[in-house]
Structure 1
């Protein structure tokens, strides 16, 4: 491997070294040089800087290798923090994570979805402030906020391009307004992409792999990560598997497509199907007027897990549709792994995992070349919020404030377009 000169781009070099330390948990300077291809002198200088900034600490001696034991270095988790804010259709989840991606504080609440953004975002900001205070986190160590929502989005402008939960949110500059309220940088991103990168940061996947994340809360989303970076496409609205057409003669979706996966396999679709089954709807006390599909879906999933045949039939049908999508995405991107994340998978993940795995094992084009594993998210129902916080850490510390090819830098506090 070619070695980089000592005058290599410092932010990029620091990011590479820090990411290797993060992935390794504990590593020596000699091992860092081998892993990065950088010279020993460059590694020594970068590690000295990282120690001086408090981002890493020395962690004792490594195992003897025949010579002097090597001094190990590792991340210093309380050195920096990121905040993740997930705006769902039915709730808001806020988490604070340390430099290692571990949650140190969490809160969730309802009501935001019924408010216009002018009211909702100041409320979110107040909850973030309260959470940081109660957790005793020094705001000087907070790198920013990752605001994650469903798509489509204009990440560069920090704007949602969907009229959900209401028309007031369409084309609204959510990231700049929240940055203004908080006095912290805010990065807008897709919830599924955030959940996907959270798996990478937590060390749950091979850092050199290409893997997908299926995210299911009230809707269905997807993300693909290649060697630690989210595949963005031309507008960062890629891998939206919920809007893959599975029926060319299907009903028109609000997105403009027809026969979209989400309208057959999403939680709201499962609930609608259950309501057409009188005995099941009565047994589970499903409310036809309810708009909280997560709660209604959870009842169906619990019944399916308990062996109710009608509930299990509905969940397995949804899972087969998702298995169809998994085969499609795996063929397009030649995936190694598919991670199942989000609140709905948290309550019914074992059934979905088994059925999706069966579909991949049976139908995948590349199945004789390599298997594709289906695994649950290590971050559970909070995967998107945790991933949002991790995206801020990655953008600021690893990617050097968001290189042009990697997407926008978090919107600075006060940088609000007044037009």
Structure 2
């Protein structure tokens, strides 16, 4: 990891190199090595020092010293003896899941999901609520902060062990500044410092990231895909987004607004999209598009009890998906048409990045996933340029409708693994009144 990357990540964490991080010889000397060892322990669940050396290529002496440091920091514990191998049984080590926690907040256009996960990635608490779309950010963000505080209290999570908050939302966005670059859900949200304001309200570091990118990296953490693979994620909530992960790292592009497949053009003569493009995929295959199409189909909107004045697109879309799953021909036709469009996008994504798998994540796939998975797989199998070289598997998310929120929390945990940050109490002091990550 270059000094430039380290500097940027440390800046987002509310520190400066040469300050809290660099002043500690443990944390400054080999954060990448510590991160590598900790990540291998996490993936293996239980592993000996000898196996760690073989898996990482590090010397036995280095492994022993790093593991001793990790145990001293309460991140790793010894966990009994391994199976006999002809000599002295090896002492196994594993993560201490209760050593650290992180919070993931998914801020959708009209829904907010909050999760708390432990160091092993296990979800320990969850809540959700609606209404943020009707509020300006000055009212919505304090409400989100109050919900986070209540969830941590209800789950009896020691706040001193909370690393921070991963706030994930739609794009475009400026991750470094912690602002959304879109006037959604209202103009008041454009350029509002959402990460900084939430950090101030919570007294915790806040990392802003794209919901689809977060969902993608969450699948890596939870073991859906081979950690060495190159895979994609299509994320569908109210809108459609995408993410690509290469060997455990999210592909970012020049401004971390990459793989926005919802805004690739599938009709050069199509209607103009608010994003500035024309004929965007989202306007043909997204949940809002399907609700509009259902309402425009004679008799279908009434049969499905759709509300033409509703602002909760996900609930209205769920009615269409449920009807499609039970055999309603009109609803099924709309979902299958959406799936074919998404199959087109999946082929494009796989061709651009030579993917091994594509994960379908998000609340909209959670209610109609089987139809989408089958049809997207068919499109990819038939049309992919590299189909004779290898298959691209279309798989459902293990995190379901909460994929983005869980991914946001995972991104915070990964900062622990990558940089080897000190104890959260030190980070809170470094962050002052609550600095954006």
When the two structures are superposed, what TM-score results if normalisation uses the length of structure 1? Answer: 0.94
**2:277 is the counterpart of 1:244:** no
User: Equivalent residues in 2 for 1:73-88 (5 A)?
Assistant: 73-88=93-108
Tell me by how many angstroms 1:416 deviates: 7.5
How many Å separate the matches in 2 of 1:60 and 1:198?
29
Q: Report if aligned partners of 1:176, 1:414 keep a CA contact under 8 Å in 2.
A: no
How many Å separate the matches in 2 of 1:229 and 1:9?
22
1:253 pairs, out of 249, 269, 273, with 273
Q: Which residue of 1 aligns with 2:301?
A: 281
2:215 pairs, out of 184, 195, 202, with 195
1:30 pairs, out of 50, 60, 73, with 50
State which drifts further: 271-280 or 81-90.
Answer: 271-280
Tell me by how many angstroms 1:117 deviates: 0.7
Tell me by how many angstroms 1:64 deviates: 2.0
RMSD: 1.9
Task: Flag the 1:131–1:99 CA change in 2: closer, same or farther, 3 A.
Answer: same
Tell me by how many angstroms 1:50 deviates: 0.8
1:104 pairs, out of 110, 121, 124, with 124
Tell me by how many angstroms 1:411 deviates: 12
Q: Which residue of 1 aligns with 2:80?
A: 60
**2:294 is the counterpart of 1:263:** no
Task: Flag the 1:69–1:372 CA change in 2: closer, same or farther, 3 A.
Answer: same
Q: Which residue of 1 aligns with 2:159?
A: 139
User: Equivalent residues in 2 for 1:16-415 (5 A)?
Assistant: 16-400=36-420, 413-414=431-432
Question: What stretches of structure 1 of length at least 5 have no aligned partner?
Answer: 1-5, 402-408
How many Å separate the matches in 2 of 1:120 and 1:297?
24
Q: Report if aligned partners of 2:199, 2:435 keep a CA contact under 8 Å in 1.
A: no
How many Å separate the matches in 2 of 1:337 and 1:70?
36
Q: Report if aligned partners of 2:232, 2:358 keep a CA contact under 8 Å in 1.
A: yes
How many Å separate the matches in 2 of 1:397 and 1:34?
19
Q: Report if aligned partners of 1:176, 1:415 keep a CA contact under 8 Å in 2.
A: no
Tell me by how many angstroms 1:25 deviates: 1.3
Q: Report if aligned partners of 2:204, 2:428 keep a CA contact under 8 Å in 1.
A: no
Helix, strand or coil at the partner of 2:299: helix
Q: Report if aligned partners of 1:186, 1:410 keep a CA contact under 8 Å in 2.
A: no
Task: Flag the 1:8–1:136 CA change in 2: closer, same or farther, 3 A.
Answer: closer
Task: Flag the 1:166–1:414 CA change in 2: closer, same or farther, 3 A.
Answer: farther
Task: Flag the 1:264–1:158 CA change in 2: closer, same or farther, 3 A.
Answer: same
Q: Report if aligned partners of 2:340, 2:375 keep a CA contact under 8 Å in 1.
A: yes
How many Å separate the matches in 1 of 2:383 and 2:74?
50
State which drifts further: 64-73 or 245-254.
Answer: 64-73
How many Å separate the matches in 1 of 2:119 and 2:416?
11
Tell me by how many angstroms 1:20 deviates: 0.7
Q: Which residue of 2 aligns with 1:406?
A: none
Question: What stretches of structure 2 of length at least 5 have no aligned partner?
Answer: 1-25, 422-426
Tell me by how many angstroms 1:114 deviates: 0.9
Tell me by how many angstroms 1:336 deviates: 0.8
Helix, strand or coil at the partner of 1:278: coil
When the two structures are superposed, what TM-score results if normalisation uses the length of structure 2? Answer: 0.90
How many Å separate the matches in 1 of 2:429 and 2:375?
41
Q: Deviations 1:346-394 (Å, cap 9, x if unpaired)?
A: 0000000000000011011111111111111101100100110010010
